[in-house]
Amino acid sequence: MIALLKNSDIKIIGEAENGEELFPMLKTKRPDVILLDLEMPKLNGSKTLNKLRRDFPLQKVIIISKYHDEELIKDIFNRGANGFISKKSSGIEIVISAIKRVVTYGIYKDNIPCLLKNPAEKDGHYYRLILSPREIEIMVLLHQSKSYIQIAKELFISAYTVENHAQSIFKKTKTKNREELGILVTKLGLNYMGLAT
């Protein structure tokens, strides 16, 4: 993508392998738009977006991901992204158009209806992006058939907090109960994920 953009009228002023490399660069460079890949090593795109919104609230950011479904896209925009591009469904023309729209108007959502019609396949890495570390921890404990009270004691939080996290987990994973959640956890190997988010 960078190579293709270099052949366009978009000027690339910096490249970073992950979020940890990005922030030192922002001390001396301030791009009009940051193209931020969700699936980065070390500090991933989701955590990088949170840090950008905290430290550079006016910085325009377009998220790039191989995943695209309603829950993920909604979450990304709710946390302050200015645009969302699918790696699998977006040609360089769409990327250039998104950059220019975000620079000019502050937002790019033209491609979202098309993406939602053809959601990408979900895997364990997807759920590490959509769920918080705490939610993953609780999901694994739910899979172990522990009660809300048992989980609360183990994590030193209230049973009410555990229940709220559980409801969020069911919503994000589109599961209706522990049985469906357990099937998903086993299928994706999420019970072996630990807290590697």
pLDDT digits (tens, 9 = 90+) for 95-140: 999 999 999 999 999 888 888 887 777 777 788 778 888 998 899 8
Burial (CB count within 10 angstroms: exposed 0-12, middle 13-18, buried 19+), residue 108 = buried
Domain boundaries of the chain, sorted by first residue: 2-117, 124-192
pTM of the model: 0.74
pLDDT digits (tens, 9 = 90+) for 170-192: 988 889 999 999 888 887 776 65
Name the fold adopted by 124-192.
Arc Repressor Mutant, subunit A (1.10.10)
Task: Provide CB contacts within 8 A for 97, sequence distance 6+.
Answer: 108, 110
Which CATH superfamily does the domain covering 2-117 fall into? Answer: Response regulator (3.40.50.2300)
